[in-house]
Structure 1
């Protein structure tokens, strides 16, 4: 097994059974899902992992139990995606390209809300060199998804608006098709400014059906409460001058620090 990453060691991931990507994907077809998010101190995040060890597996990629993510988000000139979320509009959407850094894999992703308020995610595989831009193939995919979701936005009106970087561990209940992700070392970047989550915290997300999963009940016992927090919305709220104050910014200011120094780039090397 490869040496554990700092986040994997902090969370005690070595104590969980591993699962392949194919096993996780087969157990949890989560294009339709309900997400719940929690900000959790690292010590309680480790208690969460310990408490899920009997029912959950950790995604293991050739001995590696965390993955570095880079996500470039696209928005209109007037930040239509950001405003739709902050104003809690019914037709919310996000467009991004995502790079799985160690594996040099890239996807174009579009997230919308369905009529029941559940998140619907559509994804298209893309070459790694296409990360951070929307080529003709990606633009056609984005236009098709947004049109079917009745979102009056086209790829031609979008440009890169922010980049989010973090390290993720993914747990899955293979029997019940629910997942838990834990994101650490989270930073948001726009121009020469960076906002970073307190390194003593992780962002936990549960992904499953409308009813709270066992992981949600365990999180409540650990003193965590769901928060409405989008990585992209946080980044724009803290880093873009002139945006109106909002609940997201007030929450983020208690856990994020904004600076004018860009963070160093993550190393983008394929896995051995």
Structure 2
């Protein structure tokens, strides 16, 4: 069983009504949003999905209800993006290229925070062969977005810092414009080291407005509380020697296992994963 089909079965996604990508994007694209994150045992995640089945659809891509994501994150030599998040700075930012593996689609993305603390995401479609690269087109895009957000960093200061891989299912409330994503088989990679989330958990993100959505209320009712957790920040915190200890690392150590691989995964295998 593939990771995608396994997550579909474990979460009971086959029991939900499907929605096309166009329907989800039209109702709940949410480039400007408030994100809330939860680390949830699989059994509670399955219960959550069952209770959302009346109001939410699952993104269905020709019968496939999950997608494998690969994201390469870029940072400065001093890990300016990582430090801005760990230190809670107002002008936090992330730069990444993201590959949707089964679909062969790739985007360059820049995430920043607005004056109210909400996440603002900007995206640029690029050829899949350019995954993990800052081409001239992407460099111009990154510089433009960061400059408008008042972030004093340019693309020429950035290099690939870590890769994150996971399988994602997306639920959408088509009537109210909110989304829920569930990420399983989550792992972070840097050089020859890997940090992997406990396979008995998924990372759930709710993406909506300032007020908690139905998924947030249901999770709170199950005794699950939000966590401040970024996949990239976790990866760097666990995999980069010499970084100062922080709340993210302490949280991650309870749910992630770190190993040293015999050899780094070749770039051509990363792109084909």
Q: Where on the TM-score scale, by shorter chain, does this alignment land: which range?
A: over 0.9
Distance 1:267 1:191, change over 3 A: closer
User: Which position in structure 1 is the counterpart of 2:47?
Assistant: 47
CA contact (8 A) 1:68 1:100 kept: yes
1:14-33 mapped onto 2 (5 Å cutoff): 14-33=14-33
Poorly superposed stretches of 4+, deviation over 6 Å: none
Q: Deviations over 1:18-56 (max 9, x none)?
A: 000000000013111000000000010000100100000
- Which runs of 5 or more residues in structure 1 are unaligned? none
1:212-251 mapped onto 2 (5 Å cutoff): 212-251=212-251
TM-score, scaled to structure 1:
0.96
CA contact (8 A) 1:194 1:263 kept: no
Match of 1:268 among 242, 247, 272: 272
User: Which position in structure 2 is the counterpart of 1:88?
Assistant: 88
**Structure 1: how far apart are the matches of 2:59 and 2:134?**
29
User: Which position in structure 2 is the counterpart of 1:78?
Assistant: 78
**Structure 2: how far apart are the matches of 1:157 and 1:237?**
21
User: Which position in structure 2 is the counterpart of 1:56?
Assistant: 56
**Structure 2: how far apart are the matches of 1:189 and 1:68?**
15
**Structure 1: how far apart are the matches of 2:177 and 2:48?**
18
SS, match of residue 5 in structure 1: helix
User: Which position in structure 1 is the counterpart of 2:163?
Assistant: 163
CA-based RMSD: 1.6
Distance 1:249 1:133, change over 3 A: same
**Structure 1: how far apart are the matches of 2:26 and 2:264?**
36
**Structure 2: how far apart are the matches of 1:133 and 1:247?**
31
**Structure 2: how far apart are the matches of 1:147 and 1:119?**
16
- Which runs of 5 or more residues in structure 2 are unaligned? none
CA contact (8 A) 2:4 2:67 kept: no
Figure out how many residues of one structure are paired with residues of the other and give that number: 268
User: Which position in structure 2 is the counterpart of 1:181?
Assistant: 181
TM-score, scaled to structure 2:
0.96
**Structure 1: how far apart are the matches of 2:7 and 2:236?**
26
CA contact (8 A) 1:122 1:145 kept: yes
User: Which position in structure 1 is the counterpart of 2:139?
Assistant: 139
Q: Deviations over 1:198-241 (max 9, x none)?
A: 00000000000000000100011111100000000000000000
